[in-house]
Structure 1
C-alpha cells in the first residue's frame, strides 16, 4: 500500500491570507485538529493547528510569577485572554502557521509514512505531487489500514 491508495484527496485547507478566526471555524466545523496552509497556486507552505492557536492565546494571557523559594507559578489573566484572543483571531494564518509541514510523495509506502509520523511526532502528513498538495494521511488512516490489514 502506498500514499496514493490511502490518502484523502478532498483536503480541507486554508489560504495563507485567511484569518486565524476562519481557521478556527474550519477546525471546529470539520472536527479536525490541523489544516494545511496553501498559497494561491495550491503549494503547501505550512500547517496551522488548534494547538498553535491555543498556545499563542495562552502565552499572551499568562502572568508569570517567579519565586526564589518554589516553582514558577502561571496565572491566566482572563481579561488579557479575552482582549488578545480577539486581536489574534483577525491575524492572517501565515503569521501563526508552522512552516515545517511533514510531506510524502504519492508512491511513499505506508510503512515509511507510519515511521515518519512516529519519528516526527505528527498527526498528519501531506501528500504532494509536482510540489502541490494532493492529499492528506492522518494517524487514524494508518490505524484503520493496520486493523484491516491484520484482520485479513
Structure 2
C-alpha cells in the first residue's frame, strides 16, 4: 500500500499571502486540523495547524498568571484574530511532504520521526493530497480491507459546511463565469430596451415636428442668433436641426446631395426654407442642408444652415 492509496484529494490549501483570519476560520470549519500552504506552482512550502494558532494567541499578563485548568474545561475557545500578523509568521516551514508512491512503513517512519499528525502528498512537486497519521497506523495494523480502502478513497477527507445563506462559502470559477455571462446577457437586454425606447421617442418627436409650424417670434429669434454669429466673425449659422426621418425620403436627397432636396422637407424645416426663399434669398443670403451625424452608419440628424459669405458654393 502506498501514499496514493491512503490519501484523499479533497482538502483545503492556501497561498502564503492568504489572510491569517481566513485560515483560522478555514481550520475551524473543515475539522481537519491543518491547512497546507503552497506556492504559485502548488508546491507545499508550509503548513498551519491549530497548534500554530494557539501559540500565536496573546499570553496572559504576567501579573495575572495562567488561567486555572478547571476554568478552561468545556469552555469554548475564543475566535482567533490575526491582529496584523502574517501567515508566514505563524506557519510551520519548510513543509515535510512525501511522494505519492511512498510506502506505508516509510510514511509511518517519517511521521514518527517528525511528530506529524498529517503530511502532504506530492506528485513531483505539486501537492495532490493529505495523509493522516491515524489512517497510516490503521493501515500498518492491517485494518484496511480492500472494500474499506476503496470506500476511504471515495470519502471526503473534510466536510465543508453546507451552503446556506453564505453563497460564497463554496464556489467555482465556472459558477463565476456563468454569473459574468448572465450579467452580459442582462446588459444586452438593457441595451435593446434603451434602443427601443430611443427609437420610440425619436418617432414621437418626428410626428410632433411634422405637425409643428414655425412662428414669427421663432423666426425672428433665428435671425437674431444669426446676426450674433456674424458679429462673432462667423460666415454661417445653423438655423434648425431636425431628424432626417422628418424628410419625406428619410434624408436621402440631402445626403446625395440632390438639388430637389427642399421638396422633401416637412413641418418646421419646410417653413424655415420657405421663409428663407421669400425673405432672405432676395437679400443675398444662401441656404444649405446637410446630414450632421450618422448613428450606426445611417443618416441621423439633418440641419439647415444660413450663409452670407461672398464666395459662391
Q: Which band: TM-score by shorter chain?
A: 0.7 to 0.9
- Tell me the alpha carbon deviations over residues 29-54 of structure 1, each in whole angstroms, 9 at most, x when there is no partner: 11111110012221111001111111
> SS at 1:134's partner residue?
strand
For structure 2, which runs of at least 5 residues remain unmatched after alignment?
Answer: 68-77, 146-313
The one of 90, 97, 114 equivalent to 1:96 is 90
Structure 1 residues without counterparts, runs of 5 or longer: 66-72, 77-81
For 2:45 and 2:92, locate their aligned partners in 1 and report how far apart those are by CA, in whole Å. Answer: 9
Q: 2:101 pairs with 104, 107, 110, which one? A: 107
State the match for 1:6 in structure 2.
Answer: 6
Question: Does 1:55 pair with 2:29?
Answer: no
Q: Which structure has more strand as a fraction of its residues? A: 1
Q: After TM superposition, give the deviation of residue 98 of structure 1 in Å.
A: 0.8
**Which residue is 1:70 aligned to?**
none
Quote how far apart the aligned CAs of 1:148 are: 2.2
Distance 1:140 1:89, change over 3 A: farther
- Does residue 132 of structure 1 match 2:123? no
Q: TM-score, normalised by structure 2?
A: 0.39
Shift of 1:19: 1.2
Matches within 5 A, 1:5-24: 5-24=5-24
1:112 alignment partner, SS class: helix
Higher relative contact order (CA 8 A, sep 6+): 1
State whether residues 48 and 98 of structure 1, in contact with CA within 8 Å, keep that contact through their aligned partners in structure 2. yes
Change (3 A) 1:19 1:45: same
Instruction: Tell me the CA shift for residue 101 of structure 1.
Output: 2.0
Deviations 1:59-102 (A, max 9, x none): x333236xxxxxxx8336xxxxx8xx53x255332221110322
Q: Is the 8 A contact 1:19 1:89 kept in 2?
A: no
Contact 2:108 2:137 in 1 (8 A): no
**How many residues in Structure 1 have an aligned counterpart in Structure 2?**
132
CA contact (8 A) 1:35 1:48 kept: yes
Are residues 1:35 and 2:31 paired? no
Distance, in Å, in 2 between the alignment partners of 1:138 and 1:95 is 25
Question: Aligned-pair RMSD on alpha carbons?
Answer: 2.2
